[in-house]
Amino acid sequence: MKAPIRVAVTGAAGNIGYSLLWRLASGSCFGPDQPMILQLLEITPVMDRLAGVVMELTDSAFPLVNDIVATDDANVAFRDADAIFLVGSRPRSKDMDRADLVAANGPIFVGQGRAIGESASRSVKVITVGNPCNTNCLIARANAKGLDGSCFSAMTRLDQNRAVGQVAAKLGVPPAQVQDVFVWGNHSDKMYPDLRLAKVSNLPALGQLDSAWIEGEFRTTVATRGKAIIQARGASSAASAASAAVDHMADWWRGTGERVVSMAIPSQGWYDVPEGLVFSFPVRVDAEGRISVVEGLEIDQATRDRILANVSDLQTEREAVAELL
Ligand code: NAX
């Protein structure tokens, strides 16, 4: 049996947490032979609810869960953590615009970034889910002293999965037949799902899909899916977000092979995205967990314009949180 890893989840008593923890505990993310210690963080007023979640996890008797720590202290939650899911933050309410969300949630990631720098494993893998996730990741990374930027990422996998779901439904194939769809940019309605590398049943997707559908219904559906779910369900995406977080971390932990996936990571200037911005790129991950951006893709004018629109938004967000960096 492998040695247990330490997996920290913030916002563990929230909606995404309620789906995510069961997927992690069952072995879907780190593998069916990888035991773990779950280290769960919540804010003090929510510790009672978190105690209920811990009772249910205990009652699920997962063979892979060696211990569960529930705490309102970030340094305890992140101690020696090998993987961290930064989910906890305030979801956007009806009266909030994006700038309000940045202001409300930014400070959370200062404290948590510091605690990660002080307490986590030096090779920790951090995925930021709480919105605005790209900029929250930027803040956490800036405050995590002593850790390399390669430890940090933000989640655009839900956007990728939504795009895959639409293509699969349109062509009447299982999602497993749809490969190498990826997303550029910010996790916002400006993100850009790119089908140029995509294959469906091993043949180029672009040869099988009508360009009017791609530029119209496809892009609109993917970009507005979050709002459509809130309208239909009366609550924001939770199970699909948890599932995307598992997909992202599983690919980071176990490698992608030749598959191309989307991860928002601190830019090193790829595709002229300014250094440091946390931006979603097409990536592969090797068996050691090293992420590499797929470089050398031809960027046409339409793609360049969309990349620039995302860069511009992320620069505005970065300026808005400058004092937190
Ligand atoms: P919930 O409100 O159900 O849960 C959030 C939990 O975080 C709450 O239990 C709250 O007490 C806790 N929390 C707040 N501040 C905290 C702190 N400082 N430390 C620890 N815990 C804290 O929201 P939920 O539906 O779970 O969504 C969580 C976050 O994910 C939101 O910011 C949401 O906007 C974001 N999402 C991101 C997505 C993505 O693709 N990147 C998609 C889904 C989701 O919208």
User: Tens of pLDDT along 286-315?
Assistant: 999 999 999 999 999 999 999 999 999 999
pLDDT score of 104: 86
Q: Give the mean pLDDT of 228-242.
A: 94
pLDDT score of 98: 77
User: Tens of pLDDT along 1-20?
Assistant: 799 999 999 999 999 999 99
- Residue of the CA atom closest to atom 9 of ligand 1: 14
Determine whether 279 is exposed, middle or buried from the number of CB atoms within 10 Å of its CB (0-12, 13-18, 19+): buried
**Separation of CA 105 and ligand 1 centre (Å):** 10
Q: Does the pLDDT of residue 96 top 90, yes or no?
A: no
pLDDT score of 92: 72
Query: Class of the 5-154 domain?
Result: alpha beta
- The yes-or-no answer to whether 5-154 and 157-324 have a common fold is no
Residues 6 or more apart whose CB falls under 8 angstroms from that of 136 comprise: 86, 89, 105, 106, 108, 109, 128, 130, 154
Helix (H) / strand (E) element for 199: namely strand 199-200
User: Tens of pLDDT along 159-215?
Assistant: 999 999 999 999 999 999 999 999 999 999 899 999 999 999 999 999 999 999 999
pLDDT score of 207: 95
Confidence of residue 97 (pLDDT cuts 50, 70, 90): confident
User: Tens of pLDDT along 262-274?
Assistant: 999 999 999 999 9
pLDDT score of 177: 97
Amino acid letter, 54: V
**Domain residue limits, the chain:** 5-154, 157-324
> Which is catalytic among the residues 170, 187, 199, 284?
187
For the CA of 90, the closest atom of ligand 1 is 32
Residues 300/314, Cβ–Cβ less than 8 Å = no
Topology (CATH) of 157-324: L-2-Hydroxyisocaproate Dehydrogenase; Chain A, domain 2 (3.90.110)
- Residue of the CA atom closest to atom 30 of ligand 1: 130
**Separation of CA 163 and ligand 1 centre (Å):** 23
Please indicate whether residue 65, judged by its CB atom, sits closer than 6 Å to ligand 1: no
Q: Does the pLDDT of residue 101 top 90, yes or no?
A: no
Active site residue 248: no
**Separation of CA 172 and ligand 1 centre (Å):** 34
**Separation of CA 207 and ligand 1 centre (Å):** 39
For the CA of 133, the closest atom of ligand 1 is 41
